Amino acid sequence: MRLLPGWIGLAAVLALTLGPLIPLGLQAGAAPGFGGPEWGALRFTLLQSGLSAGLSCLGGVVLARALSRQRFPGRRLLLSVMGAPFILPAIVAVLALSAVWGRSGILSDVLAALGLGRLDIYGLPGVVLAHVFFNLPLVTRLVLQELAAVPAEHWRLAAHLGLSRGTVFRYIEWPAIRTALPGAFVLVFLLSVTSFAVVLALGGGPGAATLELEIYQALSFDFDPGRAAMLALAQYALCLSLGLVALRLARQAGFGPGLDLALTRLDGAAYRRADALVIGLGGLFLLTPLAMLAARGVEGLIAGLPAATWPAARLSLVVALSSSALGMALALAMAALIAGLRRAAPARARLIEAAGFLALTASPFALGAGIFLALRPVVDPFALAVPVLIAVNAVMALPFSLRILLPALERVEADYGRLAASLGLAGWSRLRYLTLPRLRRPAGFAAGLAAAFSMGDLGVIALFAPPDLATLPLAIHRLMGAYRMQAAMGVALMLVGLCLVIFVVFERLGAADDRA
C-alpha cells in the first residue's frame, strides 16, 4: 500500500511520455512521407546539434581544465554566476546574446565604428552560438566534477615524478574527462535537438528550420496533423537512439579511492597565465550578455511595460507553481517506489528509474503535438492550454527532480528504514515525521529548479495559446516579432527576476529548519 502512489505516478508519467505516441502513430500513417523540407529539417537538426554539442564540449573541457588547476579568491562565486545561462529562459538568452552579437549589439557597433560590416547572427551561426552559451556552463561543471574526483595523491605523485604535461593529460586528466564527455555530448545534443525558442528566434527562415520548428509550423500554420505526427515520431526515434548510445558509452575512470587529501596541483607559471586567459575569455563570453541584458532591461522597465505584461506574469506564476507541485508529487512518489523496490526487485527498480528519464527523449513540442491530436476529436485543445502546459512542464522537469531526490531518499531508507518498520511507522506518519524532514533541502532545490524551468518555457504554450493568452516568454516573443525590443528587454528582465526569486524562495524554504 505504501508503494501505491509510486505506481500511480509511474502510470501518469508513462501516459504523458509514451501515450502521445499513439495519436502520433495513427496520424503519421496519413502523411505522404519524408520529402525535401523534412529531410532538410532533419539535416539542419543534426548539423546544428552536432556543432553545438561539439563546441560546447570542446570549450567546456578547456575551461574545466583551467578552473581545476587554479584556486583564486571568488572562484566559487564565479562558478555559480557562470552557471546562470543554464537556467536562463531561452527567449531571454536570445535577447541577451542579441545585445552583444546582434546587428544592434555592442560588437556590431565597434565593427561599424571601424568601417566594417555589422554581424548577422541569424541562421546556423546564431543557433549554435545560443546553444553553446546555454550549455558551455553545464559541460564545464560536469567535467570539472570528474576532475575534482581524481584523488589528490595522483596529482602529487605526478609532480613528484616530474611527468610532462602530455603524460599528465594522458594518464590522469583524460580518463576523468572521458568519464563525463560522452554523457555531456549526448545531453547537449538532445537539448539542442529539442530546442524551440532559440531556433524560432534565430533560425532565419526555411533553410534553418529544425524538426521541432517544422512540427510547430505543421500544426500552427499549415494545420497538417499527419505531417506533424511524422516529424514528431522521427524526433522521438532520434532522441531515444542517442539516449541508448549514451548508456553504452558511459564508463568509469577507475582511479580507485583516495585519502581525501586537499587537492594540490603544481602546474607552473606558464599554466597560470594560459589558464587566466581561458577563464577570462570564458567569463566574458558568458557574463557580458547577462550584463547587457540587465542594463537594457532597466531601460525598458523605466520606459514602462506593456499592459499585457501583468496578466502574462500572473499566468506564468500559476503555471510555474502548479507544474512544480505536480512534478514534485510525481518525483517523490516514483523515488519512494524505486527505493522500496531497490533491494527486493533491483531489476524492476532500474526499469522504473529509466522510465522516469523518458522525458529526456522527447521534446515538449512532441508531447504537446501528441496531446493536441488526442484531444482534438473530443474537446477544443486551445481551451485546455493551461492544464496541458502544466502537465507537460511537470513531466519535463521530472528527470532533474528525480535525480536530486532519489539518492537522498535512498539514504533515508538505508539509515532509518528498519527502525521505522520496527516502530510500525508507515503511511502519512512515516512521510510526515521521517521522510519529508530529511528531504526538505533537496526537495526545495528540486522544486525551485522545476519552477524556474517552467517559468521560462516557450514550447507548448506557443502551440496551444489563443491570441488573448500568453505567458511571459510568449509575450517577449510577440514583442520581438513586433520589433518592440526595448519593451521586450524590460519584460525579459522581469522574467529573469521572477525566476531567480522563485528559485531562491524554494531553496530557502528547503534549507529552513533543516535537521537532516
Give 193-203 pLDDT, tens digit per residue.
888 878 888 87
Q: Look at residue 254 and tell me whether its pLDDT is greater than 50.
A: no
Are the CB atoms for 478 and 465 separated by under 8 Å?
no
What dotted CATH number matches 4-27+41-511?
Answer: 1.10.3720.10
User: Rounded to whole angstroms, how far apart are CA atoms 111 and 135?
Assistant: 27
DSSP result, 326-370 = HHHHHHHHHHHHHHHHTTT-HHHHHHHHHHHTGGGGS-HHHHHHH
- The C-alpha cell 524551440 sits at 196
Compute the CA torsion angle 116, 117, 120, 126 (nearest 10 deg): -20
User: Rounded to whole angstroms, how far apart are CA atoms 399 and 394?
Assistant: 10
pLDDT category, 323, cuts 50, 70, 90?
Answer: very high
User: Rounded to whole angstroms, how far apart are CA atoms 458 and 451?
Assistant: 14
Say how many residues make up the chain. Answer: 516
User: Rounded to whole angstroms, how far apart are CA atoms 338 and 351?
Assistant: 9
Residue 266: phi, psi to the nearest 5? -115, 80
Residue 205: phi, psi to the nearest 5? 125, 180
pLDDT at 258: 42
Ranges of each domain in the chain: 4-27+41-511
User: Rounded to whole angstroms, how far apart are CA atoms 109 and 241?
Assistant: 44
Count of Cβ atoms closer than 10 Å to residue 69 Cβ: 21
pLDDT category, 257, cuts 50, 70, 90?
Answer: very low
User: Among 134-143, 242-251, 348-357, which range has the highest average pLDDT?
Assistant: 134-143
**Amino acid in position 4:** L
